Homo-oligomer: A and B are copies of this chain.
Amino acid sequence: MKKRTYSCGLDAAVDVVGGKWKALILWALHHEPLRFGELKRSISGISEKMLIQQLREMETCGLVHREVYHQVPPKVEYSLTEFGQSLNTALLPLGEWGDKHMATIEAIPRD
């Protein structure tokens, strides 16, 4: 989410789902709504800061819904909106492409 104008739809979509974590979050929430802590545990390696930051951006985009339960201890659940689910659907072919060629990609020399 850096630009305000895009040269094409693909450009816009990559901007929305790009970055290090958004795709993973989207995927994690695809199955079911998750609490903050569950989300954190299900995405290995993410820091609280990045998780909350990405969630906020996705909430602003209307991709994610944030439901607060006023309890002690606090409970907050995140879920995909229909908009978020439509994006997830659009990402499916890309995910399959990745699955198919992941080995190839990982074998690329990077030094």
A27 to B44, CA, bound (A): 32
- Contact in complex: A18, B19 (CB < 8 Å): yes
Identical chains bound together, number? 2
The one of B87, B101, B104 in contact with A97, judged by C-beta atoms closer than 8 angstroms, is B87
Interface string of A61-96 (1 = CB under 8 A from B): 110000000000000000000010011011111111
Please tell me if A49 contacts chain B, counting CB pairs below 8 Å.
no
A99 to chain B, nearest CB (A): 3
A111 to chain B, nearest CB (A): 11
Chain A contact residues, CB within 8 Å of chain B = 1-2, 4-20, 23-24, 27, 43-44, 60-62, 83, 86-87, 89-102, 104-106, 108-110
In the assembled complex, 6 residue pairs joining A and B whose CB atoms fall closer than 8 Å, in A order, are A6-B106, A7-B24, A9-B97, A12-B106, A14-B17, A86-B97
